[in-house]
Structure 1
Amino acid sequence: MMTAIRLICSLMLLVLMHYGVLGARRFRGGRNPQPRRAPPSPTYRERGDTTESFPLDFTAVEENMDNFMKQVKNLAQSLYPCSAQKLDYDMKLHFLENSSVTCNDGTPAGYYMKESLGSRRWLIFLEGGWYCFNKENCDSRYETMRRLMSSSKWPQTKTGTGILSPLPEENPHWWNAHMVLGLCLWCLSLNMCPLCSGGYAFMGSLIIQEVVKDLLTKGLDKAKVLLLAGSSAGGTGVLLNVDPVADLLERRGHTTVQVRGLADSGWFLDNKQYRSTDCHDTVSCAPTDAIRRGIKYWGGVVPERCRLAHLGEEWNCFFGYRVFPSIKSPVFVVQWLFDEAQLTVDNIHLTGQPVQEGQWRYIQNLGIELRNTLKDVPAMFAPACLSHEIITRNYWIDVQVKGTSLPRALYCWDRSFYDNSRNNKAPPKGCPVHLIDSCPWPHCNPTCPTIRDQFTGQEMNVIQFLMHMGFDVQKMAQQQGMDPSKLLGMLSSGS
């Protein structure tokens, strides 16, 4: 009975939302909505396909989304018996059917899942969380970040945020997908070692494969789109696992499932450190040294096409710009131009003291290097911000590049597959998918996330931040006889 009530509630809510969107279009455009109907996203409905349940396009109401969704919720809650039901937005814990695939300490591996009635869109998110590469720092990691290496104290439910949120006002394009959060996938989600040095198991890639197999029994076999997403080490895991996931589905006969990747903050560089130090832990170790040591300790493997391109130096495949040319599946790359994790492994530590001139130049050059590695990536979003990870943050809808938000760019990317299926190679007008900031220093983009002083925790504006970085905007503006805000504008444009 309760299941039937929830089904009725869901259907009524969807009907309200559908007619609410049409009404909003009519209100904003002052015209009958029928003559000009926006084409649906490819992941919602393609020509001749009437089985997708949610052909809704929120673009027309995105400017008033908060108010619109508030009205929809009020209407839904006012209906009996829906008013007596609490909408369940939590993802629930599931352990893998295959108990031989485990977390690092041998406890059962698993995932969190929230189903979305009738949807044929699936999103699997790979959690990040740094890494370790020998027994000493893995022991330390086990003591300080045990939830990333063991399932012994996992809660029964989790609430999704950002692109994992089921709320349209927080997640305009993917709110109605089946949400899956994969755990115990760290060490860049690529490892297949059942029992490696030090007694730890590294089975990230196997866990991903087993999660997909489990989900095939829960409706993934009827999916239209599977988006494999991840942040930080999970973002690197996307680059390494998106093709193997696609290959798994193809081998099992599910050739109609469109597998795509979304890699957030996992596009690391194997560049030279600002200051070389002995390789003792993941903070002091240069990126290439850490991966070279780790790949042996983990028993790591890499995708076959990348392995053949880097025989004898397979560690190269852990760096985005090196593995990307070998990837067949479509991948959207999200990367801060001044990634905090990259700066950390490069031995740039932003303490309470202003940075030195050499550090400032190094930071600016990092942005240039990242731009160069991203220039041939067709679908990407790269703001000039000092930060790390974005797609599960509550501010992910606020950051823009050249006037386009990340959710909007992802919508345009999805739409491009639909347009291409209709033999229309030209990208939709006003719907960009290749977005990269051109301004030259951290936080020259005014929509960047809030900066906080690492010692006091207080927020800093852009001028305070630049002074913290050793750039005296006030003094420079005074010397030039201009207002500081005008100088900031000139710097942002690269003048």
Structure 2
Amino acid sequence: MMFDPKSRAWILPSLCLISLLIFLEVDGGPVPMTLLESAVVKGAVCLDGSPPAYHLSPGSGSGVNNWLVHMEGGGWCRNVEECVERKGNFRGSSKFMKPLSFSGILGDNQKANPDFYNWNRIKIRYCDGSSFTGDVEAVDPATNLHYRGASVWRAIIDDLLAKGMDKAQNALLSGCSAGGLASILHCDNFRSLLPASAKVKCFSDAGYFIDAKDISGAASVKSLYTDVVNLHGSAKNLPPSCTSRQTPSMCFFPQYVVPTMSTPLFVLNAAYDAWQIRNILAPSSADPGKAWAECKLDIKSCSSSQLETLQGYRSQFLQALPTSSSTGTFILSCHAHCQSGDQSTWRAVDSPMIENTTIAQAVGDWYYDRSAVRKIDCAYPCNSSCRNIDND
């Protein structure tokens, strides 16, 4: 950095600036939102009855017949009260949604996103609270809640098929958090809707929620998923390859679904996932004294005993991972949640890495079969490239 005496300001040398621009995506501006009004008559609506929505940035050149479908995350609503609350924001109503800018895996800059930049890139908005699995016909007039997540997903996929995805040569179904879980739950069905000749794979970012007890010994997350499945009528829309072996609520856990899948999957997750630590390992119900309050927000604030508990959770997480050779894995030791949708963590000069490999490189190598990718990071705090980016 140099000082310019004329402007009395600090400036970057041109070579440094060029170096930075190689890794920083040029913002192409907001991507328009498509409100799928035609879906309303089919009952495919958000929690409040408003039309579902998605954002599409068309492909170009060699990517014109390639499709990246990314599902937004945002947790779940397990009871009427929680779902009613969502009706008043973009998590339950398209009335509150606005255009978005794409970045990370959805970005359109070749240097920042070399493997997917010119694909048709879609972000499906999440407004049903069930990871796109809900299916209840009746609507209580007292709440006007519509549990129609599965219909929303299918209506948007049908619209994309009609817009050219039925001719896809390459396709990747992805998602973050609750959307990352949805990319697993809908993976094989997505594959069945595309041409048999297409190369189709799925990618889950921070969606590998595990079946684990909380610090009090209670099965809090199992209770959560049971409530979600029952409220939303999700059972009929969970993978039959899993529900034929497990009770439906157990098929909200990827560790019981993935071994039954036939479509290749890539799992990107933090071993110390910020959402899982806050809500599976140490939910408020299991920590009335708030002993974990600071540790949950910043892993550097954890006591030695809390770190020992976190290392135990990491071990459980690693044991729950799939072992199939077709499954790619990239498990960081970061305290993070969702890393593919932001350029700073997807591919930048200071992105988190494992063995000098960025997330973008790992996913691209796996998708295009350039190499098998099964990278498991060392235990915290060994990886200096990690950031504390809790963006749930």
TM over 0.5, shorter chain: yes
Q: 1:196 to 1:404 in 2, by over 3 A?
A: farther
Paired residue for 2:6?
Answer: none
Q: Residue type of the partner of 2:101?
A: T
What residue number does 1:306 align with?
A: 242
Provide the residue aligned with 2:164 in structure 1.
Answer: 219
1:434 aligns with 374
Larger radius of gyration: 1
Q: Quick one: which of 36, 45, 51 aligns to 1:102? A: 45
Q: Whole-Å Cα distance in 1 between the matches of residues 356 and 39 of structure 2?
A: 46
Of 128, 132, 136 in structure 2, the residue corresponding to residue 193 of structure 1 is: 136
1:93 pairs, out of 26, 33, 50, with 33
What are the within-5 Å matches in structure 2 for residues 156-167 of structure 1? 157-167=99-109
Q: Which amino acid aligns with 1:400?
A: M
Change beyond 3 A, Cα 1:95–1:276: same
In 2, distance between residues paired with 1:68 and 1:245?
Answer: 34
Q: 2:202 aligns with which of 243, 258, 261?
A: 261
The answer as to whether partners of 2:133 and 2:232 remain within 8 angstroms in 1 is no
Aligned residue number for residue 149 of structure 2: 204
Matched with 2:188 is: 243
Question: Using CA pairs below 8 Å that are at least 6 residues apart, which structure has the higher relative contact order?
Answer: 2
Provide, for residues 381-406 of structure 1, a one-character-per-residue CA deviation record: whole Å limited to 9, x for no partner: 11111111111022222121122111
CA distance in 2, matches of 1:222, 1:132: 36
- SS where residue 179 of structure 1 aligns? strand
Q: Where do 4+ consecutive residues of structure 1 move more than 6 Å? A: none
- List per-residue Cα deviations over 1:59-89 (Å, max 9, x = no partner): xxxxx8756699xx9xxxxxxxxxxxxx965
CA distance in 2, matches of 1:359, 1:263: 28
- The letter of the residue matching 1:207 is V
**Whole-angstrom distance in 1 between the partners of 2:22 and 2:209:** 40
CA distance in 1, matches of 2:163, 2:178: 27
Q: Does residue 329 of structure 1 match 2:272? A: no
- 85, 101, 109: which one pairs with 1:140? 85
Instruction: Return closer, same or farther for 1:117/1:394 CA change in 2, 3 Å cut-off.
Output: closer
Q: Corresponding residue for 1:448?
A: 386
Inter-partner Cα distance in structure 2 for 1:196 and 1:266? 29
Q: In the alignment, which of 75, 83, 88 is matched to residue 130 of structure 1?
A: 75
Task: Measure, in 2, the Cα distance between the counterparts of 1:342 and 1:391.
Answer: 17
Alignment partners' CA distance in 2, 1:107 and 1:218 = 22
Instruction: Tell me the CA shift for residue 295 of structure 1.
Output: 0.8
Amino acid at match of 1:193: V
Asked if the contact 2:83/2:92 (under 8 Å) is kept, the reply is no
The one-letter code sitting in structure 1 at the alignment partner of 2:307 is W
Report what 1:15 is aligned to.
Answer: none
- SS of equivalent to 1:293: helix
Native 8 Å contact 1:274 1:359 kept in 2: no
Amino acid at match of 2:385: T
CA spacing shift, 1:68–1:103, aligned 2, 3 Å: closer
Q: What is the count of residue pairs matched by the alignment?
A: 343
**Structure 2, unpaired ranges of 5+:** 1-17, 284-291
CA contact (8 A) 2:68 2:122 kept: yes
SS of residue paired to 1:209:
helix
Alignment of 1:58-77 (within 5 A): none
Match of 2:288 in 1: none
For 1:482, the equivalent position in structure 2 comes to: none
- Residue identity opposite 1:203 in structure 2: R
Q: Write the distance in 1 (CA, Å) between the matches of 2:273 and 2:389.
A: 13
CA deviation vs aligned residue, 1:136-171 (integer Å, no higher than 9, x gap): 22233444xx1010011322x321011111112332
What letter is aligned with 2:82? N
Q: Residue 359 of structure 1: which of 295, 306, 318 is its match? A: 306
Tell me which residue corresponds to 2:7: none
Q: Which residue of 2 aligns with 1:409?
A: 362
- Asked if 2 retains the 8 angstrom alpha-carbon contact of 1:261 and 1:332, the reply is yes
Give the match for residue 230 of structure 2: 296
Deviation at 1:414, TM superposition (A): 2.3
C-alpha separation between the residues in 2 aligned to 1:98 and 1:67? 41
Q: Deviations over 1:333-383 (max 9, x none)?
A: 101000111111221644179544442221111111111222615311111
Structure 2 residue matching 1:192: 3-state secondary structure: coil
2:359 and 2:303 mapped to 1: Cα distance? Answer: 33
CA distance in 2, matches of 1:318, 1:211: 22
1:122/1:177 contact within 8 Å kept: yes
Counterpart of 1:406, as a letter, is I
Structure 1 residues 90 and 116, CA gap change in structure 2 (3 angstroms): farther
Q: Which runs of 5+ in 1 are unaligned?
A: 1-63, 74-86, 278-284, 417-427, 453-495
Cα distance in 2 for partners of 1:303, 1:65 equals: 46
Percent of residue pairs identical: 24
| Separation of aligned partners in 2, 1:433 and 1:196 | 46
Distance 1:292 1:120, change over 3 A: same
Question: Which amino acid letter does the alignment assign opposite residue 234 of structure 1?
Answer: G
- TM-score, structure 2 normalization: 0.81
CA contact (8 A) 2:23 2:112 kept: no
Code of the residue aligned with 2:51 in structure 1: it is: P
Matched, 1:320 2:320: no
2:173 aligned counterpart, secondary structure: strand
- Contact kept, 8 Å, 1:209 with 1:245, in 2: the verdict is no
Supply the distance in 1 between the matched residues of 2:231 and 2:175 (Cα, whole angstroms): 23
AA in 1 matched with 2:178 = A
